[in-house]
Structure formats: C-alpha cells, structure tokens
Structure 1
Amino acid sequence: MKKPKIIFIDLDGTTLDDGPGLKFWQKDTTEYTRKTLLELNKTIPVVASTGRGAKESTSKLVSNFGPETYIAWNGAKTIENGQVVHEYAFSKENTQKLFDELARNFCFVVFNSDGRNSSFARNKFLRLFMGFAKQYAKPYKAFKNDFTIYKAFVWSWSTRRIQKLAKKWQEQYKGIFEIAITGSKNNRLEITPADCSKGSAEVRYCLSKGIDPQDAMHIGDSLNDASTKGKIGTLVAMKNSVQELKDIADVVTEYECDESGLAKFLEQFIEKTEN
C-alpha cells in the first residue's frame, strides 16, 4: 500500500476505542491508540476530521494524540494549533429555510452540537422520543434565528423516514445544503452549508500544506466519510463501518474500532528504527 503523506481520521466509530458500550460523549482513545498516533505523527501528519463540534471537549480528545488541529462539523470549521483558520456558517436566510423544513417534517434537531441550549422538537410529547438531548429540547416556537449555525444534527422516530427525507432534500436543496447520512444504522443526518463536507475541507487543508490530495488518506466508518471518495487518494473503511461505506472504500480494516482497529492498521506506516 502506498504510504500517505497525511492521514485524516474520523473520531466516533473509528478512533475512540476506549470503553465499548459507553455513550459517545464518554468515549476516548486507549493508551495503545494514543501511543500509536503520537508515534505516527512524528513522520506523517494525522488530523482528526469529525462531525463533532469545535469545542473544548473535541480539542481535548485530539490533543491526546497530536497538535490541537482538526476539522470539525464535517468541514464547517478547521482548527489549527488551537486557532480557527477556516469557518463556514449558514446564512440567516438559509438557517430559516432549514429550520422551517425540519419543523414541517417534525424532525428532532440539535444545532452546533449544543444539546443543552440549541435542541428542538415539535412539542413536549415528541421530545420524549428524542433520546439524546430530550431533557433540554425546546419546542419549535422557541427557536430564534439569532445565532450563528454551522451544523444541524437531525433525526426522527423512524429510520426509514429520515432516509427518505435525506434523499428528497439532497435533490431539493442541492447547492444550498450539504446533507450527509450518518450513524451506525444510517438513521441520522448532519446538515452543513453547501460544499461544506469532510472531503472538501480535507482537500483545502492538503493544498494549504502543499500536499497533493491524492497522496492523502481518510479513515472512517459512516456515510459522512463518503464525501472523501474521489477527493482524497485513499478511503479506508473500518471493519465496523456501514456496508455502504465498505462498498466504495479502497481498503477495509481487519479489525473494528473497539478492537483498536485504527491503531493496528496504522502501525504499518510507522518507521521502524534499527537497534
């Protein structure tokens, strides 16, 4: 396998292998994965590329295995050494357009990964079906288009329904919204401004460093990683990936995330020193 000049890694379901069965906000990397990534970072830049937000918790995670450098919210923000070097938010007009569409279809939504302050459901009854953030969700009527939105995390009570909406909106709002299906069951949506995806952000990051995107590698597990196909040289799917990602990936790892599959796969790129 060709040795990449830069490696982009998803976090949830890919890198965070400590604590199988824990909620996503409780997960971390094992010591083995941390050491592997730190060693690899000495010769090949390893950059997290995630749907998670540009938040202190994300910065803390990535700082465990390298610089505080990562692509957040599927490309809506890029952080380099703790500083925002790129950001792309919804316009106020498109924010309202998005919220109206979500409300019309009775969707649950969390904006900017802020479940405590920016989560919404149609009413108190329906929010009981939200799972994540249900204790904080406000009714639609409480929404005010008075803050900057980078990403919407969207779901419904039916997987089939959310998949139908994704297909419809990808056509209806082409050039306005970027809609990525995510989740281990393809039952969640991550919505960002148009052309704001992991793939686009990674190409931009590579070019800023003088690296040909075809010499880059992306490793992930869900369909929000699919945007890197054709933009980044090598797409690697974790063994635990959704089948749709495995079908388009160039490589599938031998082990799952919870088996430290990322670190085991990346060890091949660590330069060995002779005693």
Structure 2
Amino acid sequence: MKKLIAVDVDGTLVNSKGQITAKTREALIAATKAGHEVMIVSGRPTFGIREQALSLGFDKFGGVLSAYNGGQLYDFKEGKILANHPMDYDLAMEILELSKSLDLEIMIPHGDLIYTDKADNFYSQRESGMLNMEVKAIDNIRDSLDFTPNKLLFAQDPDKLDEPCAKIKEKFGNLTEQVKSARFYYEVMPKGLSKGSSIIEACKIFGIDIKDAIVFGDEMNDLSMFEVAGTGVAMGNAVEPIKKLADYVTLSNNEDGIAYYLENFVLNKEEK
C-alpha cells in the first residue's frame, strides 16, 4: 500500500548537528524507491529546504516539499508547484502598515530571497546563513510589495517580542494563522494553513488515503500533522505532548529514529 511519509526538519530529519545521517538518508531513499511519496514538511520557504531535498535524492528519485507551514507544495524533481496559498495582498499590506509602529524586524521570504527593510538586520542575516538565501533590503518594503507573500516573519529579542506581536494577534488573529515559531520569531500566515493541512492536501493530490499517511515530528508546531495522519511517529527527543499523541515513539534524531521506524514497520514488512 502506497504511503505518504512526511518528515519535519529540525529535531526530526536532521540531528543535533543539523545533518541528515547516512542511515536516515538511505532509509528515506529506499522508501521512495519502494513507491512511497516522501515529503519534507517545514515552516521554512521552499528554497530554504532545497539542500535537504538534494541530500535525499529528490532531484533523482522524486519527492515533495511542503513549505511555509502548508503554504506551498512543490514537486522537486519536476520543478513544479503543486499547490500555492499566498496571503491576501491587501491584508498583508494592512499588517505591514501596523508593524511600522511596532518594535519588530520584518522578513518576507520569496523565491530565493529574504526581503527586509534593514540591510544590517541581525535576524535576516541569521536566516540567510541558515537557509542559504540572500537578503535583499528595500527601505519601503512595508509600504509596497510587488509580490504576494506566503508569510510574514517578525523578529525581536525574546524579552521584547510578545507585546508587539499581541497587537498583531488582536487585530488580525481572526483573519490569519499566527505562531511563535521560536523565542525570537513570530510568523503570520493565511488562515487555515498548517503542516496538517498540507498532509491532507498532499494525500488528495497523490490519491493516498489519509490513514496511509505516516508523519514524523518532535515539536508542538508538528501537532496538526499528528491530528490528521493515520500514523504519528514521535521522535525520542520529542516534547511530551507530541509523544502522548503519537501512535509510536521511535528513537531520537541522533539515533536515526526515522530509519529505525521505516526499517521495522515499512521497508522490512514489504520484503517479507
């Protein structure tokens, strides 16, 4: 039976050194060769997870990227966008207008660039290094955009982030999805999107029953995947709420937890 195998990135697909181990790579490639759909699921922009896709041979064997927390599905081998859910342009501009009065740095990933209004923005430089994406500073970025963004990313020191973001939540919370994705990051996305929604959408595209979706995750932002998939596999390093919701708790990301589960419950089962 064809499966959708969806893997979170940080704390799941990569180990504590940010690397995909050889054993995990081999297991996921074996799953692809066996006819399953392997999907990387992340809040990162599509371009920002291309290195992981290349490491898993998506360019040779196929594979799907779910980026922007469900905002875009991308067939890596074919170079084709399967689904795209950008923000409403006017709504994005309203949020950016409000942000001008708030002590928040702004980052807007689009294509292979990270747009911001300050060239020396510490957080955009951090994102640039982590995602291997160039930063483009535009002074009036909060006044004018020539594209519709998939998400808006705000940043500030952890002790200064919550108060201004609460104002964004108060005014636009019913019109958008908002999440504190790190101690210093706050993301605003179109209403109704999540990692879980991308699992449902991918299953429909590939004709896979949702009960045949297997998801791997470790943090609370993976919760929506566990709520919709037929099988939720928590990493050994996962937070307790995810472990409690999971159907199975595998080894940690430093112990090839993805490979362990696939070898014991998917790949070896097919060989018998």
The bucket for the TM-score relative to the shorter chain is 0.7 to 0.9
8 Å Cα contact 1:178-1:195 kept in structure 2: yes
How many Å separate the matches in 2 of 1:168 and 1:221?
A: 29
How many Å separate the matches in 2 of 1:198 and 1:9?
A: 10
Structure 1 residues 133 and 44: CA distance shift in structure 2, 3 A:
closer
How many Å separate the matches in 2 of 1:89 and 1:177?
A: 11
Structure 1 residues 217 and 63: CA distance shift in structure 2, 3 A:
same
Superposition pairs of residues 1-275 of structure 1, within 5 angstroms:
5-17=3-15, 20-21=16-17, 27-41=18-32, 42-55=34-47, 58-65=49-56, 66=58, 67-80=62-75, 81-112=78-109, 117-120=114-117, 127-128=121-122, 132=126, 138=137, 141-143=140-142, 144-158=144-158, 162=161, 172-183=171-182, 187-255=184-252, 257-268=253-264, 269-271=266-268, 273=271
Q: Which has the higher helix share?
A: 2
Instruction: Give the partner amino acid of 2:258.
Output: L
Other structure's SS at 2:145 match: coil
Q: How many residue pairs align between the two structures?
A: 257
How many Å separate the matches in 1 of 2:45 and 2:124?
A: 20
Structure 1 residues 260 and 102: CA distance shift in structure 2, 3 A:
farther
Q: Deviations over 1:58-111 (max 9, x none)?
A: 334224324142211111111123211111111221111222343333222321
TM-score, normalised to structure 1, is 0.77
Q: Deviations over 1:39-66 (max 9, x none)?
A: 12214322111112222x5334224324
Q: Deviations over 1:233-271 (max 9, x none)?
A: 23333233344544544433332x233222223222213
Other structure's SS at 1:13 match: helix
Identity of aligned residues (%): 23
Unaligned 5+ runs, structure 2: 130-134
8 Å Cα contact 2:2-2:37 kept in structure 1: no
Match for residue 24 of structure 1?
none
Unaligned 5+ runs, structure 1: 22-26
- 1:165 to partner: Cα distance: 6.2
How many Å separate the matches in 2 of 1:139 and 1:106?
A: 18
Q: Cα RMSD (Å) of the superposition?
A: 3.3
How many Å separate the matches in 2 of 1:190 and 1:245?
A: 21
Structure 1 residues 107 and 247: CA distance shift in structure 2, 3 A:
farther
- 1:187 to partner: Cα distance: 4.5
How many Å separate the matches in 1 of 2:244 and 2:205?
A: 30
- 1:116 to partner: Cα distance: 5.9
8 Å Cα contact 1:175-1:195 kept in structure 2: no
- 1:222 to partner: Cα distance: 2.5
Q: State which drifts further: 229-238 or 91-100.
A: 229-238
How many Å separate the matches in 2 of 1:14 and 1:114?
A: 25
